Structures are given as C-alpha cells and as structure tokens.
Amino acid sequence: MDSVLDFSTADTVNIGLATPAIDPEAQALALAAQYHNADAQTVLRAALSLYKGGIALVSSFGAESAALLHMVAEIDRATPVIFLDTGRLFAQTLLYRNELARRLGLTDLRTAAPRAALVAQEDPDRLLAYSNPDMCCWIRKVDPLDTALEPFTAWITGRKRHQASTRSALQYFEADAGRIKVNPLAEWTGKNVADYLARHDLPPHPLVADGYPSIGCVPCTSRVAEGEDARAGRWRGKSKVECGIHVSPEKAGSGI
C-alpha cells in the first residue's frame, strides 16, 4: 500500500522552507535529511504538497517512466508533466506517451521542443548527434528544458542510483540551478520498477521487448545484448553517460 504523508510539526516547518526566500541548497539539505529513510511515495507526496503549484514532473516516457507517472497520477493528475520531444525520438515513444497519458488521465501534459532556428543553424543535416553528441543534446534537450522549467521552483525526475556512476550518490532532494530537484526513485532497482509495473498492470514501452531497456533518441540508442548493462545502448562506443540535463557537459563526456 502506498504510504500516506503525515503532516507532522516537522512537515509544517518544511512548508515554511519551501519558499523562494530560502536558499535552495538549504531547502534540499533539510528535506534530504528529513526524508532520507522515506519510501518513494512518501517523498513524492511531500514534494507535491510542499511545492504545489510550482512543481512539475519531467518524463521521457521511456522504458521505466510509467511507474513514476502512475505514482504522480495517483496523487494529483493535474501535476504538470513536461515531455521533451527532441525531434529524433522513436515513433514508438511518441505513441507510448499518448497511450500512457490517456490511461493515467494526465491533464497537464506539456511538450518542450528545441528552437527551430537553433536546430536549423547548428544541425541542418541532422548529423550533429554523430559528430558532437554533447551539442546535440544541449540543443534538443538541455536548452528546451531550461525554458520549460522557468515557471517552476521544483521538478521531479525518475533517476536512480544504480543507473550510472554519476548517479551513485543521488539524494531524494537536491538543489540544481536555483531549483529543487526531487528524485523519489533514487533507491529503486530495475526489479523494483518491474514489480511496480506488474502490480499496477502498466503497459511496457513497446521497444523494451525488442532489446531496448533504456531508450533515448534514435541516433544514440542501440539494442542491449544479454548480460550488458541496461544503459549500454546509450551513446554506445563513447564515454558519454548523461545527456547534460543533470550534469555538466564535461561530466557527461562524449569521449570523442
């Protein structure tokens, strides 16, 4: 059964913390300390309450996205959900987005897209992903998301510690670029996600059965062989492990 947040005296203090007047770093440290032993649903309920009206879920509608989308819909279907349509996604991802949005009853699904003029200037032949994947990610993901997040003081991600070395120390709450970033699934494993999807009868992304356990843009996503890490198919052949949304381009590292 999902945990229900008990608004204790400590929670009332946190509501006071969740204001623009309080430094985001201080907010993140206080909230991470308070909820470090909480489960995903409790963290999510707390975040949606504390930052109500100023928080959004950013979702790729990828292989594991249905779990967090379902949790949010169970609490508040009107929560804004931001989807990055890079212009290079698999058609199956777009269809999956539509299916999940209908099934979960999401009422505020927003699509963020790259600036057409910038794409025309920097990637007119649509080959930038091969020559400079960091720049391609910046144009198609980082820049559009920065714009989409402007109205919000906090946002929710589906990142997990087991996914990459850059995420191994992930906390439930962190500060990033003046906002609070919430990671309710930080402690979850792939099995946790699979169990949740099965328990709630949520449809899988259609590409998962075709050998894609982690799904991004078409040029930078390949099938994963048995025994490989789930994210081995992302930017294959390069040391790049992040698109740049969550870490600097230097740490994302294209390795080219």
Say how far apart CA 87 and CA 115 lie, in whole Å.
11
Compute the average pLDDT of residues 211-239.
91
The conformational region for residue 87 under phi > 0 = left, psi -120 to 50 = alpha, else beta, is: left
Structure tokens at 32: 């991470």
User: How many CB atoms are located within 10 Å of the residue 43 CB?
Assistant: 27
Structure tokens at 143: 């820049």
Higher pLDDT, 24 or 166: 24
Q: In whole angstroms, what is the distance from residue 136 CA to residue 126 CA?
A: 9
Pick the more confident residue, 179 or 237: 179
Marked catalytic residue, from 136, 137, 220, 243: 243
Res 129 pLDDT > 80:
yes
- Alpha carbon of residue 59 to chain centroid: 5
Residue 5, pLDDT > 60, answer no
Mean pLDDT calculated for residue range 108-114: 98
Q: Measured at the alpha carbon of residue 188, what is the angle toward residues 4 and 65, in degrees to the nearest 5?
A: 85
Give the pLDDT band of residue 6 (cuts 50, 70, 90): very low
What proportion of the chain, given as a percentage, has pLDDT over 70?
Answer: 84
Q: How confident is the model at residue 222 (pLDDT cuts 50, 70, 90)?
A: very high
Give dist(CA 62, CA 215) in Å, integer: 6
At 240 the pLDDT is 80
Q: Name the residue with tokens 């059965």.
A: 209
Return d(Cα 242, Cα 234) in angstroms, integer: 9
Confidence at residue 177, expressed as pLDDT on a 0 to 100 scale: 86
Residue 15's pLDDT is 43
Residue 215 pLDDT level (bands cut at 50, 70, 90): very high
Task: Evaluate if residue 10 carries a pLDDT over 90.
Answer: no
Would you say residue 148 has pLDDT above 50? Answer: yes
Mean pLDDT of the chain: 87
The pTM of the full predicted model, rounded to 2 decimals, is: 0.86
**Segments in 35-115 forming alpha helices (H):** 40-50, 65-75, 91-104
Among 94, 157, 137, CA closest to 256: 137
Tokens encoding 22: 């309080």
- Collapsing DSSP to helix, strand or coil, 176 comes out as strand
- In sequence order, which residues have a C-beta less than 8 Å from that of residue 37 and are 6 or more positions away? none
- Asked if 136 is an active-site residue, the reply is no
Q: Any idea how long the chain is?
A: 256
